[in-house]
Chain A
Amino acid sequence: MFFDVALAHRIGDRAIELAFVSDARLTALVGPSGAGKTTVLNCIAGLIRPDSGRIAVEGKVLFDSARHVDLPPERRRAGYVFQDGRLFSHLRVSANLAYGERLAPPGDRWIGREEVIALFGIGHLLNRMPATLSGGEAKRVAIGRALLAAPRFLLLDEPFGSLDAPRAEEILQLVERIRDELEIPVLLVSHSGAEVERLADKVVTLA
């Protein structure tokens, strides 16, 4: 099973409850805005500690409140592509790409920098500062940075949001290639029905 998630979390008066299993290569998590989709991703990545539940990815338990398992984010190895990109503003694109790559154990790396640069067409951006990138360029760098950290799974939070149609189509095709060519389970949060239908092998709804 790629994803095996059951969690309950309360923020203020909003309660999030979700349980799903999936062995689809690309699982889409959908639901109305404010339902807590990003919170679920943060729980899986280890940035938020859910009140209770159990999270396992490809058989590895990342969190289990009953057995007091709670791996810190750096040991979960999530390739998390944030909705807002979060490129390091003081580092050039090349240093952003290298950040996670340098921290990944060499034996775990499954994709090289050259391959990522070619796949995402970002070779001409390496010396740029993040503030000078367009939305689509920043998104491609963010996905590349996540892949180079040798993640065991990918979390994509609205990767097509805030992009114009041609740019969104570009990223969509990239996600398709990641799904079809790279051996890595993907959990995608999206609010666009057309994109989810085109990409996802399984859809999970968060009410």
Chain B
Amino acid sequence: MNAWLTPGEWSVVALSLRVSVAAVVLTLPLAYALAWLLARRRFPGRLLLDALVHMPLVLPPVVTGWMLLLLFGRNGPIGAWLDTNFGVTLVFHWTGAALAAAVMALPLMVRAMRLSIEAVDRRLVDAARTLGARPGRAFLTITLPLSAPGIAAGAMLGFARSLGEFGATITFASNIAGQTRTLPLAIYTGLQLPGGEALVTRLSIVSVILSVAALVVSELLVRRSGGSRAHVL
């Protein structure tokens, strides 16, 4: 296996996994909270929030990356604040690639989770309340476990989307070997090099294997937790 990929290519794979895992883990609680809000609450500005969450799905990724640059770049309001207060710079750094992947994955994660929360029978929550459960406990014991297949599905979709993220990443975090050059960026770079076909082929095969593995693992997880009727796909 070690002979199959060069050390440099292995580090690309490792970086991609690190970026995608970080993106999904960081986004998961936020995505679930947004999904719950959109599924269960009626409030002013709900439509606006819905549109905002879904924007990365419909915008050209380059535009999303440019907007991230405006906000999180060194001179952007959030970026400057992070820099002066915590010395954190996202641009040109793997955490920036993770942020770009997270923003692009968010709509897919919210959609999957929202559907599963909407499918939870509210009358079961009512039943829990009459049995003495406060709203928070009813949520933790009824809504959360019953929507678990949606959480797994959302996490998988987000992970697969993060692995494939290209446009927003290269615009916002740039294409720096060892920091932000994830699989798609490395493949793109390889295409520019004379004699890069072998590298492109190998990294593409790795991409396919990782994406299919993510699908299979999440499908198995969902089947185990949700019985035979539950599916991710």
Q: Is the CB of A103 within 8 A of B127?
A: no
Q: Is the CB of B129 within 8 A of A88?
A: no
Contacts of B130 in A (CB 8 A): 45-47, 73-74, 76, 78-80, 146, 149
Q: Is the CB of A73 within 8 A of B146?
A: no
Contacts of A78 in B (CB 8 A): 130
Q: Is the CB of A74 within 8 A of B127?
A: no
**Chain B minimum-CB-distance residue to A150:** B132
Q: Is the CB of B127 within 8 A of A82?
A: yes
Q: Is B126 an interface residue (CB 8 A)?
A: yes
Known: A90-B145, A99-B141. Contact between A47 and B134, CB under 8 A?
no
CA distance A80 to B123 in the complex (A): 12
CA distance A22 to B145 in the complex (A): 41
What mask results when residues 2 to 35 of chain A are scored 1 for a CB within 8 Å of chain B, else 0? 0000000000000000000000000000000000
In chain B, positions 87-114 with a C-beta closer than 8 Å to chain A are: none
* Count, A-B residue pairs, CB within 8 A: 56
Q: Is the CB of A88 within 8 A of B142?
A: yes
Considering only CB atoms and an 8 Å cut-off, how many residues of chain B contact the other chain? 17
Q: Is the CB of B129 within 8 A of A99?
A: no
Contacts of A79 in B (CB 8 A): 130
Q: Is the CB of A77 within 8 A of B132?
A: yes
Q: Is the CB of A103 within 8 A of B131?
A: yes
CA distance A149 to B129 in the complex (A): 11
Contacts of A103 in B (CB 8 A): 131-133, 137
Q: Is the CB of B129 within 8 A of A74?
A: yes
CB-contact partner of B131 in A46, A72, A90, A149, under 8 A: A149
**Chain A minimum-CB-distance residue to B130:** A80
Contacts of B131 in A (CB 8 A): 74, 99-100, 103, 145-146, 149
Q: Is B124 an interface residue (CB 8 A)?
A: yes
A129 CB to closest chain B CB (Å) equals 9
A-B contact pairs, 7 of them (CB 8 A): A73-B126, A74-B133, A80-B130, A86-B123, A90-B146, A103-B131, A103-B137
Report A's interface with B, CB cutoff 8 A.
45-47, 72-74, 76-80, 82, 84, 86, 88-90, 99-100, 103-104, 145-146, 149
Task: Give me the 10 closest cross-chain CB pairs, A-B, nearest first.
Answer: A100-B131, A103-B132, A73-B129, A86-B127, A80-B130, A149-B131, A74-B132, A73-B130, A47-B126, A45-B130
